[in-house]
Structure 1
């Protein structure tokens, strides 16, 4: 079944803490009949909205189609962590792309954080930008790998905002007995992602872009005369940008073979009296589990804890129980704390956990597969596609060289094959191997 409909009600934001605390906009009208544009965009998440904003500011007529609501998908449901780099060490990337291209790829990721921070400061104070993201390691060997990456970033790129910590110092910061060390990156950050998406949509519209909600695309024509078709009309354009990520239906074979949807889940507790009993600072944290745990405190003192991936399209019947078990295993001091919000969402991953930017034809660009690093990178991918449409494609072309191969089995058999593989890695997590 289409991920756009498997787990959610149409055009209804999930029952998340984000939706409960955001000022939601009035619903925008759906596409009705035929429209023409310079650029047609599929998907009103961070990627599509940044592409719309950039191109509208350059004078293009931009029309964006969203199946549900602005920020309804992963952009409005995620953990809010604005990480540095990619979901792959820069040492690995440099070894495969070479030093010069890797340096450009690193700079794109740095620009992505800078773009997001500047936007929050100027247009989305309510996104509540807070600096600091830590990464926890479960073994001495993993802690040494983290330190080697910190040293590499400082030596090769002059990045000195990350600090490697031994077990004792890290446990003073992140008060779990399970970590053997880690890294604190003060150049990374965390935000309220739905507030950011809503503000970004307003900025794109202020620049002149048109957004149609409840306009699910059922067919894509990516040839010389590209178009997006919905049940109620057709949008024709000179250029086409696909920004559906994990929610893109299986109607584009190239992306479907390389980007796989997976689900992740988040719980938010009631406000805690003493957040410092869990985290010594207002930072976000992710860790080295293959099925990663990620967490932080919200502005009103709730512990927001995410993890527990699933690889089928359907959400499990019990989201809360396993999430709480993971949370209290990591932080025994939270046993018995009431959980008030639980939700899930779908993101896009690739085989190498690197984003996939691609030219799908002479007039069609796509970006997806941000693999848990999308809060900053997906917005920058939108900017790069906007730049490429406008004739400045250097950064897009370099990013399109990130190594991303097809999933085994392609779009048809990727899910059962990957489920077997991921189940094995999840078992290794539980066994501590």
Structure 2
């Protein structure tokens, strides 16, 4: 049976990785890529991916660890980063926020501590939250949630010493919670709490040292502050953006190893002007998709690829769905993707395997191709279009082993 063959091949691949595909490496992607391949529709792509089943694996910069490997590990933790590197991610991401005493730390959002850490279980730290825990209001007869439980705890509420007391957990909350302990639950069924016994939070500087040790490139994202800037009177956005780059310079990291990111175009333009060595690989994270944007209607694009190119932007990173559309029942590059390529800019995209199961169209990240996405194996159909037709240079994934396998198979 083909399934049995693939499982045997997966074990063989793990053994090959254990012997070292490259000096000092032990790349293991586990069974997931083989499961996805087995689930694909029969055809040339499936056959080509099957033929790579026993191929030794190497680390690849095409595979980017989105917050590490948060499908199963608490995001932006040492354990999550190490898991992503083990799966062959050649680039790791630290989303950068700042503490009350202006130390840069790795958090996806400045104010996500209530859902990504155990802060609510530490009363003296929970008391410092911008918005303390408020229990859900439930219908006494039915138990239905009338008003969801809420809490907002920010890195800027804590000193770095206090921040380091926290433990990372899976990003989730329970809207029906009536106690802080209940609020900490809510992990989606397609993720797991198996690896939450430890969740070591790191500062930005610590992430740099860890990434150097792991031998990977680095893609810090300067998070848009959730507090008013200047913070505490004189900490401006420019100081914040400069501080992030300065920490790479202080650590002796070559600019070619860093892909600084921001959703704020002004941050990217600042780096291009003030730190050109780092600005050359600065990434503009494109979120046009949250407005009236349509990937095949140029009138809805703002800024346009031509406008970005004119400002000096070299790398653009739109969401997955912005780069693809459906034509004659098949996934193909969108007009937006073609326009970016026409301007000669490089493309990175985000974030694969963040939507859970694809049995219902895949959710937000797959919205432009939902009519043709129906099963897990469709993941590789999308990846192949992004790699071979759109021409992306990297894909963020919540489970980097999936992208690592494809990249090795296709020589990327």
Question: Is TM more than 0.5 here?
Answer: no
Larger radius of gyration: 2
Q: TM-score, normalized by length of structure 2? A: 0.24
Higher relative contact order (CA 8 A, sep 6+): 1
Bigger share in strand: 1
